[in-house]
Amino acid sequence: MDFKGQVVIVTGGARGIGKAICEAFAKRGANIAVVDLMDEEAVKTADELKALGVESISIKCDVSKSEDVKEMFNTVVEKLGGVDILVNNAGITRDTLVLRMKEEEWDAVIDVNLKSAFLCSKEALKLMAKKRFGRIINISSIVAFTGNPGQVNYSASKAALLGLTKTIAKEYASRGITCNAVAPGFITTAMTEALPDNIKEEMLKNIPLRRFGSPEDVANAVVFLASTEAGYITGQVIHVNGGMYM
């Protein structure tokens, strides 16, 4: 899978799964826009990608705000020449039980996890439709299918991404644009490492492959969906969870 000369935008690309996705594309020749609110970490990631011999820029952007997103896309086009692949990976959590959840905690998660994917996809589609080619990959979650106590906002946002994915896939298939989703299960990141050991042990019992996933496991699925080899796949979800959800 060769992406030489193609331009990839990864939101939430500074660390964790987002960073692994950036690295996977860069290793295959793509030029990368690392988009994140964490400015210093985004700059560091972009610099590391340059060492792989590709062009890479970091952009500080609140992807839940339309004006910020428009400015970000303008910067990518100006500095990298266009957009071929968009990975909507930005996401946050504000966990608590339904009756304790504040309205602002609901709104914050919906805005970052769902609204941002709508805003970024809208800008990307304008560019992709003109050249009749594009790949959009949305990062959903296993909890979109199972639900999860204490995560009604997160689960709802990740489930809604699936409807977004399928609708874009249907609207833009005739323009040579595919839109798919990846739904990770328990992936080892800084966020999940902070969980108590007893909780992690219980979760591991529910994974047939008996191991937690890595950010690279998710990145490999994203890269495949963006490739020419996956050109006849659209509106689909790839589950990356070790069999935790079947």
Report, as residue numbers or ranges, the catalytic residues.
Answer: 154
Q: How does strand 177-184 pair with strand 85-88? A: unpaired
Tokens 């690279």 belong to residue: 216
Distance CA(17)–CA(1), nearest Å, equals: 20
Assess contact for 220 and 24: CB atoms under 8 A. Answer: yes
Q: Is 129 exposed, middle or buried (0-12, 13-18, 19+ CB in 10 A)?
A: middle
Separation of alpha carbons 120 and 65, rounded Å: 10
